[in-house]
Structure 1
Amino acid sequence: MAEQAFVGAGQRPGLTAWRIEKMVPVPVTKDLHKLYSGDSYIFLQTIQKNSALSWNIHFWLGKDTSQDESGVAAYKTVELDESLGGGPVQYRECQGFESDLFLSYFKATGVEYLAGGVDSGFKKVVRDQYDPKLLQVKGKRTVRVNEVPLKNTSLTKDDVYILDLGLEIFVFNGTTANRQEKAKALDYVRQVNNNERGARAQIVFLDEEPKNDKFWKTLGGFINVTKEGPDDDAAEKAHRESIKLIQLSDASSSLKTTDITPKDGVLKKDLLNSDDVFIVDAGNVLHVWIGRGASADERKNGVIYASTYLSQTKRPAQTPITRVAEGGEGAAFKALFRAWDPPRTIAFGQQPTEAKSAVEAKAVDASALFSGASAAENDDMFAGQEGTNAIKVWRIENLEKVEVDPSTYGEFFGGDSYVVLNTFTPKNNQKPTHVIYFWQGRQSSQDEKAASALWAQRLDDEMGGSPVQVRVIQGKEPSHFRRLFLGKMIVHSGGKASGFKNRNDQDSYDTDGVSLYHVKGTSELNTFATQVDEVAANLNSGDCFVLTTPHQVYQWQGSGANADERRVASNISAILKGHRAIATIDEGHEDAAFWDFLGGKAAYPTEKAGQEAEHEPRLFHCTNETGFFNASEVFNFAQDDLNVDDVFLLDCYTTVYLWVGQGANESEKQGAIKMANDYLQAAQSDGRGDGTPVITVFSGKEPAIFTCHFAGWDATFFHQPAFVD
């Protein structure tokens, strides 16, 4: 019988937790970051991508928890896993030695350790930093990533090193490091950043010589790296001799373990049998792999046996144990096997005016290089809690807050700023939670933005200081904000004239009766509509558009639009139609009137209907403002993330774009070109081959095939003054 506390778990994005009390899991409804050293916990992280859900399960063991409680946590974790179809990845967490993935859930609060059990409240320790570590990337045919002592004497000239400081990751290439090591290092840091750091880490590339202060200071000071490391072939041989593969099977009617490590030490994917459980001993971590056809007994005992194995081999009790289901293997696990993912065959040469195929979901391909969070959002503030939201909205007019008609909730103007109050009332009659958002349109004046922040603070004061305040920028809305409007969020052009600095401005709205709205997103949580210029060149096969005309509303569905975008487009059409009829048309079936309203037919991007639709675009910021070139990924990007003083790399899978801001210097341009080449070299393993084109575009002169990847692109954005005096 399924555990009652787990009923309904994992159905909404976010983090849910249970504490083991009297040998049963009890839901934790608040202060999930406060953990008692004498207790054991189970955490479930639910992630939504398009309409699909995936899960990570962590069972956390306090340093003073009892053997019984830790055993119950492990056993109940398996039950929770089974209730979710056996798909989640499981992690064993020990106090003080938690994985970076686990700690990433608590970026805003840190983790607090409380002495004793649930009823104790002494001796608080705050943990909100990552432990620095130095990783060596070494090998020729099978490249390995191993932790080495955190000191400069660990560096050799013939390997690649990764200095991981949590939200800063440095990549050091030795002068004679081989191509495979460099590619593996790039692969590893991208996956760590995306999967474990929420894509927030800054990645800094050093070509051995740059005397980066932080890098060298962490390692004990600058040195000239001339030392040679062990021969790659010898190192690979030593690694093969240390790694172990153990099979756990009940095929003979009782559970038995068998060491099936190959004599040459090289692990290959076909050694794993879907009907059994396997333990991979990688030295500093144990991986428990659960085959799809493994029996219930094998599944339940995998982690338990791994814990016993640690004791038998006299390993530290805090050695991490990761449980991963077949099909859900992460980067660290795959890296232990030679050629885990065979290259895929890709058809290149997509035509610019012809959609190739319909795509129902724009999910990141989990087997592709640099897979990870990408633009996915899993930041629901009230995940795991049943309850109701009650919202109230005000718009800033003449620097005052004016209440908005409830029938128009979810509609915003890009030239305005708003204050939104959400009151969440839990179903169990607990105390309501208040959140105040102040939303600032991209074209809103500086004084209106300031007024929205001021009114948010005043509202907070009126409510006794209990609400949470959240500043929201157009195009960067978190999912818990967009969720409030149930897939009906619209951003119109124009706005109410400012009441201070722009006193003589007139109200700005589109009043010619024809408007075009771009519907874009990857799930119903983050899909919304933004008004764009009503010209055919703004269409895009990968998304949906809503065209309003004096007598009819067209819901245009690109051949590559996903199901969530189509549903949201229907919602938007219903809101905007008024007395008009709605005509739903698929790409390629437009009538003459449709094109007339858009000023006639014109070429528009269609490539997203092909391979690009399977891969979320990724944006990287390239700059040398700190004295050396570095690149960092921009998560959940929008047009205003593009800084005209720098260079950005946009990876759209079939094409890589270098966007050059008008103020970028020559060093940044050259560094970005080198990075693009290195990036594509490393990315060949995801199937795209070595012929991916790199296209350079300049700020203010972007082609439609570039701008289509940014929701609500504003062609005048980079021509406006940064501040209106």
Structure 2
Amino acid sequence: KDEAGTAAILTVELDAALGGRAVQYRESQGNETEKLLSYFRPCIMPQPGGVASGFNHVEVNEQEHVTRLYVCRGKHVVHVKEVPFARSSLNHDDIFILDTKSKIFQFNGSNSCIQERGKALEVVQYIKDTFHEGKCEVAAVEDGKLMADAEAGEFWALFGGFAPLPRKTASEETGEETEAAVKLLCFNQGQLEPIGFESLTHDLLETNKCYLLDCGAQMYVWMGRTTSLQQRKGASEAAEKLLTGDSRTKSHVMKMIEGYETVTFKSKFNEWPPTPDLKLSSEDGRGKVAALLKSQGLDVKGLMKSAPVTEEPESYIDCTGHLQVWRVNGNAKTLLASSEQSKFYTGDCYIFQYTYTGEDKEECLIGTWFGNKSVEEERVSAISLASKMVQAAKFQATMARLYEGKEPIQFFVIFQSLQVFKVCF
């Protein structure tokens, strides 16, 4: 608890030192988002133990290889979790990896899909290279082959022999969390004060205060532009204490400063004005970091430039140009009607072409937008189709590649009423 609170405060300090532009995410073990997992290939696999610190005493105790059972879930990124080494942990829907001293088994549930099996195979290779120095056998066991297959027989023998797998209980099959009521709290003088509202609008947020938007599974910490570093650290710490006190280990926290809000945060509000083109200087922050490191005798060469460099002005894009949007379907693209151009789905990829009048000629921007749940095949297809469009324009167009949640301000100038939908099956 103490380390988690300290990490939250240090994250705010680091962001402030580097300009305050970043969105800060709080993730918890076992409930990582796909965004975080996408940075660690092929997976995150927590190990027992920890790092010695003022809060944590660690005893180094080398042990022999212990047989472990892992469950793997996910088509695009992999959630890996250690489960008890018992038959009751297995089921027909997931993929399991049994790591023994001399052999690694991949058990493919009969209801698992080919994408999940491919991702799990990457995890098997990672375990082999990391924990066995590449010197062990690997076997795939298909759910339903029973004892007819030699490797299946060897697998089931480790569980004391074959027996039918248990079915999921009704609560597990329909274990969808009910959507919690949205709450808005203001951080004022070290205390959280609830704010009542009939309609959640942007006007409720004041630039000299910090707020917590509690949506149940997600919590957002919004920090006004004129708030002090102490206020931001206090709000961050308050969010950590609130989640800890309510034992909400599965909730995620996103912290952001005014002017750099994410699309998901804005979507919680019934009204959100056009985002102004705010610019925060990060050069002063880097100077402070460089001075601190230099005072500690560290080499800061390259952190600060010898002479100030004037940033190139960002290209001007107005909202009076002509916009066309296509949705990618396999290796083809489908043109969307103008009424559907601002409705994106998180499981799809899109291509957009925007032409507008520049300073001395007509400018053209061709971009791709990838939803967080989109598949790799369609992303590759989108890039290929967009490249062909740039070629058709005799390479006079500018090409951009954008990802959901990381869009620049210019993107929202073009798509002024963008809505991102999540499809649940």
* TM-score scaled by length of structure 2: 0.42
Higher helix fraction: Structure 1 or Structure 2? 2
* TM-score scaled by length of structure 1: 0.26
Larger Rg: 1
Higher strand fraction: Structure 1 or Structure 2? 1
Which one has more relative contact order, counting CA pairs under 8 Å at least 6 apart?
Answer: 2
